[in-house]
Amino acid sequence: MNQRAFPIGGNDIAPGLPYLAAMPAPSILFVCLGNICRSPLAEAALRAEAARAGLAVTVDSAGTGDWHVGNQPDRRAQATALRHGHDISGYRGRQVGPEDFRRFDRIYALDRDNLANLRKMAPADATAEVGLLLDLVPGREGQGVRDPYYGDEDGFELTWAEVSAAARAIVAGLG
């Protein structure tokens, strides 16, 4: 459990000793191109892994492009998530904005092109760490998550496997 000690006077339980106060939950944003395939699946995978581990995490997803703002995830992404026990039909596409670089602790791009775009979009006062998602998975460093959009259902299963491996790595790093 993430906790930080803060000294405070007047501790009724043990006067003069610090008490433990919970730190804010880490906040993570996943970013792909349109926010209808890879990043919503990554969001669902991390929500599931964090819940399984009993960790509080703020999670969201967005796209660098604006083509799918307001749209549900691709029906194949929804079907894949549902097969794994997660309903993402309520997710809606949105475009990453300057405030995201201050609101989130970490922003993970799903491929190198989106990583480059995020670095160009980052405002001067950005506080988020920006990185490539699969850099967290041993043996996958420098690689992007497969974009299943132009393929079939099998591609979405491969994407689910990749983002799930990264979600497990994130949770292991937070735990």
Which residues are designated catalytic?
32, 38, 147
In degrees rounded to 5, what are phi and psi of residue 86?
A: -130, 125
Separation CA 156–CA 42 (nearest Å)? 11
Cβ–Cβ < 8 Å for 25, 53: no
Chain Cα centroid distance, residue 154: 22
Separation CA 116–CA 105 (nearest Å)? 18
The pair of structure tokens assigned to 23 is 């730190």
Best CA proximity match to 115, nearest among 26, 27, 58, 30: 30
